[in-house]
Amino acid sequence: MDDIDVNLAELVGSRICHDLISPVGAITNGLELLDMVGSVQGPEMELISGSVGNAAAKIRFFRVAFGPASDQPLGKSEIGSLLKDVENAGRLRVHWLVANAVTRNQAKLVFLALMCIESAMPLGGEATVEKQDNGWTVWGMADKLHLDSDLWKYLCTGRLPHKIMPSQVQFAMLLKAAASHGSKVTVETSSTRVAIRF
């Protein structure tokens, strides 16, 4: 995948997220109006409302992870809101230990790394994001990790062991995005802990 391919993938990701967030938001508004007038109650309403909320959270997260990167800043509160929404929609709890605003470039790499880590946690777990002078560390812990060793080695070697599946696209995007910003990805794994540095 060359730079043109990466840019096209980012543009496609951004376009899809942009086009989906409006109708999902409209459904959310409609559900709120129904709730206000009390015309629909019960577990069915809760299921629909929860599903729409989860979809909106993932779309906002994916827009940063898969969309075009830039130097536009994202504040800690905005990052926290994005992560909290995704936390509620998934199995990964994230501890963001970065006090200052970050660029969308940096957030993109971190979000892709979090997606890689979450894919190794079938039963859920916790992740921590830290920034040092020499780069970023995103690490996760869980009682049980399911690691595709060849896929994780790819982040360090750049050699794909097999065809990337749609559920694994974050691995390819992370490596290419990091390289385009002059960063090298390293990985450490154990039976209960995985760390990605760039």
Residue 103: which residues within 8 A CB-CB, separation 6 or more?
69, 70, 71, 72, 73, 74
CATH topology assigned to domain 3-197: Heat Shock Protein 90 (3.30.565)
What does the block give as tokens for 102?
A: 């970050």
pLDDT digits (tens, 9 = 90+) for 109-136: 999 999 999 999 999 999 999 999 889 9
Separation of alpha carbons 4 and 71, rounded Å:
20
By the 10 Å C-beta count (0-12 exposed, 13-18 middle, 19+ buried), 140 is classed as buried
Separation of alpha carbons 175 and 179, rounded Å:
6
| 8 A C-beta contact, residue 102 and residue 73 | yes
More confident residue, 32 or 2: 32
Alpha helices in 70-168 (DSSP H): 76-89, 104-119, 149-157
Q: What is the pTM of this model?
A: 0.85
* Mean pLDDT for the stretch of residues 171-191: 92
Average pLDDT taken over every residue of the chain: 87
* Mean pLDDT for the stretch of residues 56-69: 90
Lowest-pLDDT range, 73-77, 104-108, 158-162, 179-183? Answer: 158-162
User: Over pLDDT 70: what percentage of the chain?
Assistant: 95
Question: Residue 44 — very low, low, confident or very high, per pLDDT cuts 50/70/90?
Answer: confident
Spell out the domain ranges in the chain. 3-197
pLDDT, residue 87, reads: 86
pLDDT, residue 5, reads: 58
123 DSSP 8-state letter: T
pLDDT at 4 over 60: no
